[in-house]
Amino acid sequence: MTAVTTDPTSGGSRSMNDAHRVLVLNSGSSSVKYQLLDMRDRSRLATGLVERIGESSSRLVHTPLKGGEPRERAGRIADHEEALRAAAEELAADGLGLDSPELAAIGHRVVHGGLKFSEPTVITDEVLKEIERLVPVAPLHNPANITGIRTAQALRPDLPQVAVFDTAFHTTMPEHAARYAIDVETADAHRIRRYGFHGTSHAYVSRRTAELLGRPVAELNMIVLHLGNGASASAVAGGRCVETSMGLTPLEGLVMGTRSGDVDPAVTFHLKRVAGMSTDEIDTLLNKRSGLVGLCGDNDMREIRRRVDEGDERAALAFDIYIHRLKKYVGAYSAVLGRVDAVVFTAGVGENSAPVREAALAGLEGFGLAVDADRNAVRSGEPRLISPEDARVAVAVVPTDEELEIAGQTFELVHN
């Protein structure tokens, strides 16, 4: 693309190639997270978070990363438009205004791209309509993403806006992994299938792992364990996702901070018929009051480990259920892949919790999997190996960076 924009600072015109900044927006139902990146060296210029949008206790925290202290604004921020305008003002105060000709594009995290979007996509009216058509399968996420896109378009109508989909990396899953074994006509009529989420993270981490191992991603089979508050596993063969643990929604799969992960679907009928719960109540139970928080009252792994170390039995059982599920997925994905070259831990828990990493792979020596205690104990923000020197399968910790991946994909799309 060679769009020409006017540069008010020089009075002349410059090509899109001079624009090197990307703003990444992650719009949730009541929050907006933003990061401004300089793609010349992939560094961050500023990050921010607006939370509790629409409430009287809204808060904006803006952190300039090239000098300057974090700044905070308290007081009601009515909607996403106001949130983004406030973020734009903070950026402008640091000389990083969104009207700058150095801004190349805005990259949006979009949760659900269905089957249509397997690549980052420049947002047109047609693309936005398709994201709207997917609202029934992502009622919590896509509406917020759409609001974020519309607001950003109103602020900079001339600028390319790019959607990077959480589901995109998983569109390579074969049909036998993506389909539920339910009546085909019913499933197709309602677009019921396994889509998978956290794809931006799984894509980034699998590529970074290949770099860490010094081998082409095309040669490697790996299991990526994204363990944050939300958690998902994926099996990646030659850089392509062949299986992942989240399904139609992010509820399926691993035990998470507040989500149950896998349960017999009959649990929901039982809750309706026997416990008299409404569909919305069951939805809230399984998404917000289950997982670690439902099992022991805490969803922060640091707190759970502290309680386990003090002999708290509920916390210990919650930890064991979390680990058991993780181990089942490692076993299942080893079978799906046939040969495993690397198991990779990422996100808040995966990057920071040595006890989770140790317990998840304990007893799997028969699979060639082992964790070296000293290497596992090292705290670092860098990608690193934690398997013993002579291990058959590499075990690695690779910090994820979804914003950098979104910025990279966005920039690549608009820069050529």
Query: So which residues are the catalytic ones?
Result: 166
| Contact status: 302 vs ligand ADP (CB under 6 A) | yes
Question: Which stretch in 5-13, 67-75, 297-305, 313-321 sits in contact with ligand ADP by CB under 6 A?
Answer: 297-305
| Size (the chain), residues | 416
Does 348 sit near ligand ADP (CB under 6 A)? yes
Residues in contact with ligand ADP, counted by CB under 6 A, come to a total of: 13
Residues 6+ apart with CB under 8 A from 69: none
Q: Does 410 bind ligand ADP (CB under 6 A)?
A: no
Interface stretch with ligand ADP, choices 75-83, 114-122, 267-275, 343-351 (CB under 6 A)? 343-351
Q: Would the annotation count 301 as a binding residue? A: yes
Nearest to 198 by CA among 223, 228, 176: 228
Q: Which is nearer to ligand ADP, 61 or 128 (CB)?
A: 61
Burial grade of 300 (CB within 10 A; 0-12, 13-18, 19 or more): middle
Contact yes or no for 107/406 (Cβ under 8 A) = yes
Interface positions, 353-372, toward ligand ADP (CB under 6 A): 353
Q: How far is the CB of 158 from ligand ADP (least distance, A)?
A: 32
Shortest Cβ distance from residue 349 to ligand ADP (Å)?
Answer: 5
Q: How far is residue 362's CA from residue 371's CA, in Å, rounded to a whole number?
A: 8
In this structure, what are the phi and psi dihedrals at residue 53, rounded to the nearest 5 degrees?
-60, 135
- Minimum distance, C-beta of residue 229 to ligand ADP, in the bound complex (Å): 4
Minimum CB separation of residue 122 from ligand ADP in Å reads 26
Distance, CA of 165 to CA of 186 (rounded, Å):
25
Q: What share of the chain is helix, strand, coil (3-state, %, to 5)?
A: 40, 20, 40
Nearer to ligand ADP, 172 or 352 (CB): 352
Q: Report the alpha-carbon distance of residue 47 to residue 33 in Å, rounded.
A: 8
Under rule CB under 6 A, residue 352 binds ligand ADP? yes
Q: State in Å, rounded, how far the first CA of the chain is from the last one.
A: 5
Query: Of the two residues 270 and 306, which places its CB atom closer to ligand ADP in the complex?
Result: 306
In the complex, the smallest distance separating the C-beta of residue 259 from ligand ADP, rounded to whole angstroms, is: 11
Q: Is 350 annotated as a binding residue?
A: yes
221 is in an annotated binding site: no
Closer of 262 and 303 to ligand ADP (Cβ)? 303
Largest Cα–Cα distance of the chain, in whole Å? Answer: 72
What 3-state class would DSSP assign to 197?
A: coil
**Residue nearest ligand ADP (C-beta atom):** 348
Tell the burial category of 189 from Cβ atoms under 10 Å away from its Cβ (0-12, 13-18, 19+): exposed
* Binds ligand ADP by CB under 6 A, chosen from 50, 144, 301, 404: 301
**Using an 8 Å Cβ cutoff, are 202 and 226 in contact?**
yes
Q: Which of 299, 334, 376, 409 binds ligand ADP (CB under 6 A)?
A: 299
Q: Is 229 flagged in the annotation as binding? A: yes
Residue 25 or 105: the one with the smaller Cβ distance to ligand ADP is 25
Q: Does 349 sit near ligand ADP (CB under 6 A)?
A: yes
Half-sphere exposure of 335 (CA within 13 A, CB side): 5
Confirm or deny that 351 is annotated as ligand binding.
yes
Rounded Cα gap, residues 190 and 192, in angstroms: 5
List 347, 393, 397, 406, residue binding ligand ADP (CB under 6 A): 347
Helices (H) and strands (E) in the chain — how many of each? 15, 16
Beta-sheet pairing, 4-6 with 21-27? unpaired
Whole-number Å distance between alpha carbons of 185 and 383: 45
DSSP string computed for 266-280: HHHHHHHHTS---HH
Per-residue x/- mask for ligand ADP, residues 205 to 244, rule CB under 6 A? -----------------------xxx--------------
Q: Which residues are annotated as a binding site?
A: 26, 33, 109, 226-230, 300-302, 348-352, 402
Q: Which residues are annotated as a binding site for substrate?
A: 109
Q: Which residues are annotated as a binding site for Mg(2+)?
A: 26, 402
What residues line the site for ligand ADP (CB under 6 A)?
228-230, 257, 299-302, 347-349, 352-353
